[in-house]
A and B are shown apart, each in its own frame.
Chain A
Amino acid sequence: MANLDSLFTAWLEGESLTDEQIALLQANAEYASMMNNAMQWQQQSQHYETVPVPNWDRESTMPKVQKQSLFFGAGVWAVAASIVFCAWVFVSNPQQGNQQLLEQVAKQTNLLESQQKQIDQLQNIITAQNEVQQQQMYQLAKEAIKTGRVERQEDIASVLAYIKTQRAQDQAYLRMQLNDLAEQVEGGPLPTVANNLEY
């Protein structure tokens, strides 16, 4: 059996066996069956048609490089560039540099002043807008209260009118009932008759 096993292993490893050795393996039911099954797998392998790879993003296999550091602190770069420029102006021609710097400062001051003026104007506009808005809000509130008061008065008046109508109807009904009673007791003894006086 050990011999058969080593033969079978050798056969699986692709070693060429003699006809006698193969016959030995085929004679054993267990090994013959395994040989057949192994041949099935070999056939599958031989006839396997390679499936082409669908389109895919090969670059997705590469983790992205952190580029954030390159753009880190754009403002810092701008400041640095300004400093370098100023230094270059001074170094290249100090007098001209001073003149240029003074011009630059004057320009900057003008710019700042005009910006300040614009800011003041904007603040005035905002304040005026706020006042207008407050007045409008006050008017609106006043109107709402007034409308509410008139509506309430109208409601009360209608309720009073309703009550009056109801009261008049009740009185009429009572009068009718009293008249009925008076008619009923007309034929009866006098002490039992109520004084049915109309208001």
Chain B
Amino acid sequence: MFFQSLETLIAKAQQGNKRAWLKLVKQHETQVYNYCLRMLSHPDDAMDLMQEVFISVYKSLPSFRGESSFNTWLYQIVHRRSVEYYRRRKLHQGLDDIPEESCEHSELETNQLQSEQHHELKAMMNNLPWEQRLVVELKFFQHCTFEEIAEQLGISTNTAKSRLYSALGKLKVHLEAVDG
């Protein structure tokens, strides 16, 4: 009886079971955190956004009817919250302009920033406008089809495609700039 299916956990969490909710959070926090990290590039921002996401999920959980998969539903909330977060942050400070910190990182942050691949990914992501970043995230990291992307973001399939094509074009410009 140690294993509980996702449906059971959701049902229990909907009834206000604290343990079930915490288990549900634990099961999904890594993917949500990494999504936030890729989108925002900064561990503190990613942490804040993840917390906002789970608060939002907790509040909306009673309205989850299982019409779509929990993951799809969860990511719809993640996208909405991330867009709101990005806009809110942009009002105060351009996220793309945040300078890279050279010291005073947490151990985790340092490890992450020291990773060359993460650096490269961060640079590639930061090179893109927010909407294109979302499409890239969904296409290459969440492995969604164009239809799924369109559904998640509430846009047409053609718009999703054109955003991805633009993002791919921008990467070319970025790589050319990096190569000199």
* Apart from A41-B168, A49-B115, A58-B22, 4 more pairs, CB < 8 Å: A34-B165, A51-B37, A54-B43, A61-B25
| Complex Cα spacing A51 to B41, Å | 12
- Which of B70-78, B85-93, B95-103, B136-144 contacts its partner? B136-144
Task: Contact check, B34 vs A54: say whether CB atoms are below 8 A apart.
Answer: no
Task: Contact check, A49 vs B140: say whether CB atoms are below 8 A apart.
Answer: no
| Complex Cα spacing A40 to B54, Å | 31
Is residue A48 within 8 Å, beta carbon to beta carbon, of the partner chain? yes
Please give the distance in Å from A13's CB to the nearest CB on chain B. 6
Is residue B8 within 8 Å, beta carbon to beta carbon, of the partner chain? no
| Complex Cα spacing A12 to B22, Å | 36
Task: Contact check, A12 vs B164: say whether CB atoms are below 8 A apart.
Answer: yes
| Complex Cα spacing A55 to B146, Å | 35
Enumerate chain A residues within 8 angstroms of B18, measured Cβ to Cβ: 59, 62
Is residue A114 within 8 Å, beta carbon to beta carbon, of the partner chain? no
Is residue B159 within 8 Å, beta carbon to beta carbon, of the partner chain? no
| Chain A contact residues, CB within 8 Å of chain B | 9, 12-14, 33-34, 36-38, 40-42, 44-45, 47-54, 56, 58-63
The 6 closest A-B pairs by CB, nearest first: A61-B54, A41-B140, A37-B168, A37-B171, A34-B168, A45-B140
Please give the distance in Å from A40's CB to the nearest CB on chain B. 6
Chain B residue with the shortest CB-CB distance to A54: B108
Report B19-36 CB contacts with A as 1/0, cut-off 8 Å.
Answer: 001100110011001100
Given known A-B contacts A45-B140, A56-B47, A58-B25, A51 and B172 have beta carbons under 8 A apart: no
Contact of B34 among A44, A47, A51, A63 (CB under 8 A): A51
Task: Contact check, B58 vs A51: say whether CB atoms are below 8 A apart.
Answer: no
Task: Contact check, A44 vs B121: say whether CB atoms are below 8 A apart.
Answer: yes
Please give the distance in Å from A127's CB to the nearest CB on chain B. 60
| Complex Cα spacing A68 to B168, Å | 56
| Complex Cα spacing A50 to B145, Å | 22
| Complex Cα spacing A58 to B20, Å | 12
Enumerate chain B residues within 8 angstroms of A50, measured Cβ to Cβ: 30, 34
| Complex Cα spacing A12 to B26, Å | 32
| Complex Cα spacing A44 to B118, Å | 9
Task: Contact check, A62 vs B21: say whether CB atoms are below 8 A apart.
Answer: yes
Given known A-B contacts A51-B37, A56-B51, A62-B58, A41 and B136 have beta carbons under 8 A apart: yes
Contact of B59 among A38, A45, A52, A63 (CB under 8 A): A63
Contact of A63 among B25, B58, B143 (CB under 8 A): B58
Given known A-B contacts A9-B161, A49-B115, A44 and B43 have beta carbons under 8 A apart: no
Task: Contact check, A38 vs B112: say whether CB atoms are below 8 A apart.
Answer: no
Contact of A58 among B26, B143, B145, B171 (CB under 8 A): B26
| Complex Cα spacing A42 to B171, Å | 13
Task: Contact check, A34 vs B141: say whether CB atoms are below 8 A apart.
Answer: no
Task: Contact check, A13 vs B26: say whether CB atoms are below 8 A apart.
Answer: no
Is residue B151 within 8 Å, beta carbon to beta carbon, of the partner chain? no
Task: Contact check, A45 vs B141: say whether CB atoms are below 8 A apart.
Answer: yes
Enumerate chain A residues within 8 angstroms of B120, measured Cβ to Cβ: 44
Q: Considering residues A40, A42, A47, which has the most beta carbons from chain B within 10 angstroms of its beta carbon? A: A40
| Complex Cα spacing A22 to B146, Å | 20
| Complex Cα spacing A13 to B146, Å | 8
Task: Contact check, A61 vs B30: say whether CB atoms are below 8 A apart.
Answer: no
Given known A-B contacts A9-B161, A41-B136, A47 and B146 have beta carbons under 8 A apart: no
